[in-house]
Structures are given as C-alpha cells and as structure tokens.
Amino acid sequence: MMLKTIRKWLRRCLGWIAIALVLLAWVAWAVVDRAEGYGRLAVALSWNGQAYLPPDAAAATLLVRGERHPLAPGQPLTLRPGPAAAELDLAGFLPARSTALVMKNQSVKLDFALQAAPRRITLRNRLPGATLDGQPIGDTWTTQAEVGRVYSFVATAPGCETNRLELRINRPGQDLVADLALAPLLGGLKIQPAPAEGTEVFVDGKQVDDLASLAVKAGSHLVTASNADFFPFSATVEVYHHTTNTLPVPLRPRPATITLNLTPPVPCEVTDAKGAILPLEGAELHSPPGAVRLKLHARGFAPIEQKFRLEANHPYVWTATLEREGAAEFKRASGQYQRLATSPEFATALGKLGGSDWAKLRRTDFDAEDLIRGAKQYTDACATLAAIQATLPERGRAWTNEVRVANAIDFWLVTGELDKAAAEIDRYASRFGGQSDFAQWFGPPAGKIQGWRDALETKRLYLPAAPGAGRKTR
C-alpha cells in the first residue's frame, strides 16, 4: 500500500515537471522570436537648420503609438515593425510631429525640425513720459517675441537722450526682462562769483563742491546756499541741453546786533549817518555789517556819536554815559572860548573888541549849573563865539587898516598937512564909520572922527600958514 502511494506521488511530480519544462521552452521561444522581430527608432533634432541638443534631455518626451517615452540622447527606441507616428514635446518649442516606418531588425531615423515657442519681452520703466516708437508706455511694457529675432525700438523720455533699443531672445524657453535706461540730457551749471568762505551749496538737495563746473540734467533745478553769517539763499535755475548756465549766489549778510548799555538807562532812539532811525528791540538794535556811524538821541541829554566796524552776525555792546544837554553845551562853549583866548589874532584884537558881541560874551559866566538852567544864555554865547571865530581874520584886517588910517590922520595933523588930513578923515569915516563892519565889530568911531575934525578946524584957524600960502583970519 505504501509503495503504491509513493509511486502515485512520483508520477504526479514528474507530470508537473514536464509541464513546467514545456512552458519554459515556449517562453524562451517567444522571447527569441520577439527580439528578432523588433526595429529601432532613433531621434534627430534640428533648430534653425542646425542640429540641436537639448540642454535638459529629461525635459523632452516622445509620444509614440499612445505611449510616452523619455528622450535619451544616443539611445534609440525599440518598436514593433510598422508605421509609427511620433509627437515630440520639448520645453521652449512648439510640439513637433513626424512619422516613420519601423522595419524589423532595422534602425530608422526620425527627424524633428523644431520651432521655438513665442516668448515675451518685458521692459520695466521708471522714466516719466517715456515712449517706444512714439507710443507712451507705463511702468511695464510687454510684447510677444520670436526667439532669435532682433526687435528694434526708438525710446524717448523727457530730459533724456533719444536711444534706439535692440532686443533679442537668444535661447528658447526664456523670456527677456530688462530696465529701460536712457542717458539724461546734460547741461552745465556754474556758480559765479564763488560765495563767501564756509558757504554750503546744494543742488536739488545734494551738496556740491565743484562750483565752477557742474554737470546736471537739463531742466529746472533748485539751488540753495547756507552760511551762518548770511541769510539762506534759494533760487530755481533752468538748465538747457549742452548749455552752461551761470548763476550768481548773492548772499545777504545777517545784521550785527548792538546791545545798548546806557547810564542812566533811559528811552532813546538811534539814527545812522543818513538820519534814518534804526528800530530798537528792547535794548538791542540791528545794523548791516561794515563801517557805520551811529548817533544816540535821548530827551534831555546830549546826543552821542559812535563809529563801529561791524561784522555780520556778531554781537556788540555800546556802553555810554549820557550827559545833560546843558553840561554838553557848556563844555563845547568853554572849549570854543579857550581856543579863541589862545588865538594870536584874537589876542591882538582883544583890547579893541567892543560892541554888542563882546558884551554878550562877557555876560556869559560859564557856570555849568547856570548854563543848564538858562539854555538861552549858553545858546547865545555859542552863537556869539561862532560868529567871532568865523570873522576873526576879517576883524584882524579891519583893525589893522583902521590903525593905519588913524596913524596917517594923526601924522598929517602933526605935520600941518591939513588938506591930506581932511581927505584921510573923510575916507576913514566912509570905511569905518556908520554901518560898516568895523563899527559893528568894535563899536562906532563917531567920537573919534569928530575929535579929528575939531583938531583940523583948530589948526586951520591958528596954525601959521606956510610961506606963499594964504592965511585964514577971523
């Protein structure tokens, strides 16, 4: 029983083994038969008439008979014999189609003439009013372009040079993005004459150092200048293309500040050399820099003059002690009198200086307190002194001539030349009597003239006549 079972089992195993061997033989035959019955399909790419090798082969696929195969350079596809319609999908190119007949155990070459897919050219613009071929563009301009083709545009923008742009996309699958850049229209700006030392000059908010030659864009520019000692300067200048514009920068100096320190501290006003009143702000006044002469006026006090050499934007202190008007006039009148008293011409005429002028002068006692109380007295005294001082040369000449003529009259009377004496007396009366300057300065000489005439008459009556001359008798 046991043996029968073993035999049955062996027969079954041998049957299964026989079946397996038959199947293996059939599979081997099928594989060999299939391999010997296939053809090979090679792919060749060209672009613009030249062979093209994709930079990224993995991005290319080939659709054949409904199956998509990756395109591997140098590795043909194995296909069953028969017609094969293929479609190539490659990034950056339009889909390409081609058909080939696959032969058993043969290699077939499938050529694809590639056509690049249209791309885009984008220009980014930051120039206001820019145009391309006369058409305005905004911040971004985009157009469709063919790969490899040169596109030419005329670009313009206000304040910029006109430029011809040539744009081209060189590689398939890529877009071109560029910035619109145009050279600005340039002109020249010259700051003359150069401003004062330490002045900072700005053009459109940017500080410049080379003031003799500045290259700036054509158009309007704001020029400002600042200096601590001057008021700020600001001007708008128009600069034209290829033209140099000269701009003067006249800085107006800041005034000097003068602080009044008066004793006593009383209200006052200050005038300049032309008599114009300078405004006071409390105890401060402002004056243009340079050499100035100022005069301080306070009611009841004598004016004070002071010279200053002022610098722009600098402080000064004017310290002054005010004197009452009377005291000042007293000092001036006293000084005039002292100068007169020491004058040689005045000393010569002093003994004969009579008349109202001298009397008025002598009545002035030159007491400071009296002069302060009596303003009319020292005013008259000053006027008298001024008149005397102004006429001293004429007074001296009149006094000298009077003495000369008087001596001549006395001489002719003593010598008995009575006719000559009479003629001199008449001339003396016309020159020095009546309303003559001599009579006003030194007093009328009427008594002196009458004395000479009385002496002349006496001599004519009693003086012996000269030989051969007639004699008057009673």
Q: Cβ contacts of residue 250 below 8 Å, gap of 6+?
A: 233
Contact 217, 159 (CB under 8 A): yes
Q: What is the pLDDT of residues 377-396, one digit of tens each?
A: 556 666 666 667 677 778 77
Are the C-beta atoms of 157 and 184 separated by less than 8 Å?
no
CB distance 208 to 190 below 8 Å: no
Q: What are phi and psi of 103, to 5 degrees?
A: -105, 145
d(CA 316, CA 257): 6
Amino acid 54: pLDDT: 78
Is pLDDT at 113 greater than 80 in this prediction?
Answer: yes
Determine the Cα–Cα distance for residues 289 and 253; give it in Å rounded to an integer.
7
Tokens describing residue 104: 């058993």
Helix, coil or strand: residue 408? helix
Any idea what the Cα angle at residue 234 is, between residues 229 and 237, rounded to 5°?
140
Q: Does the domain formed by 38-114 have CATH 3.30.450.40?
A: no
| Per-residue pLDDT at 330 | 61
Q: Look up residue 433 and give its two tokens.
A: 């009597």
CB-CB contact of 378 with 326 (8 Å): yes
Structure tokens at 282: 């409390």
Q: Name residues whose C-beta falls within 8 Å of residue 45's C-beta, 6 or more positions apart in sequence.
A: 51, 52, 53, 54, 88, 90, 112, 114
Residue closest to 187 by CA, chosen among 173, 198, 203: 203
Please state, in angstroms and rounded to a whole number, the distance separating the CA atoms of residues 421 and 77.
168
Contacts of 384 (CB under 8 A, 6+ apart): 357, 360, 361, 364
Q: Is the pLDDT of residue 351 over 60?
A: no
Q: What angle do CA 374, 380, 384 make, to 5 degrees?
A: 150
360: left (phi over 0), alpha (psi -120 to 50) or beta: alpha
Task: Tally the C-alpha atoms within 13 A of residue 466's C-alpha that lie toward its C-beta.
Answer: 6
Q: Where are the domains of the chain?
A: 38-114, 119-179, 186-247, 256-323, 327-462
Q: Would you state the pLDDT for residue 317?
A: 93
Q: How far apart are CA 156 and CA 129, in angstroms?
A: 8
Q: Do domains 38-114 and 256-323 have the same CATH topology?
A: yes
Whether residue 155 has pLDDT greater than 70: yes
> For the chain, what's the residue count?
474
User: Which DSSP state fits 148?
Assistant: T
Q: How many CB atoms lie within 10 A of CB 93?
A: 21
Report pLDDT for 359.
Answer: 47
pLDDT tens digit string along 282-327? Answer: 889 888 888 999 998 888 788 889 999 998 888 999 999 887 766 6
Give Dmax (Cα) for the chain: 239
Tell which wins on pLDDT, 320 or 438.
320
Mean pLDDT of the chain: 78
Element (DSSP H or E) covering residue 398: helix 375-415
Between these two residues, 25 and 458, which has the higher pLDDT value? 458
Q: Does residue 376 carry a pLDDT above 60?
A: no
Predicted local confidence at residue 258, as pLDDT: 92
Of 245, 252, 247, which is closest to residue 226 (Cα–Cα)? 252
pLDDT at 315: 92
End-to-end CA distance of the chain: 239
Long-range Cβ contact pairs of 407-413 (< 8 A, separation 24 or more): 409/452, 413/452, 413/455, 413/456, 413/459
Higher pLDDT, 263 or 323: 263
DSSP 160: B
**What CA dihedral angle connects 411, 414, 415 and 417, to 10 degrees?**
80
Other CB atoms within 10 A of residue 399 CB: 20
Residue 383 is predicted with a pLDDT of 67
Q: Which single residue is written with the structure tokens 């008007």? A: 325
Architecture of domain 256-323: Sandwich (2.60)
Q: At what angle do helices 446-462 and 375-415 cross, to 10 degrees?
A: 10
360 three-class SS? helix
The fraction of the chain above a pLDDT of 70, given in percent, is 78
pLDDT tens readout for residues 41-70: 888 888 887 887 777 666 688 888 878 888
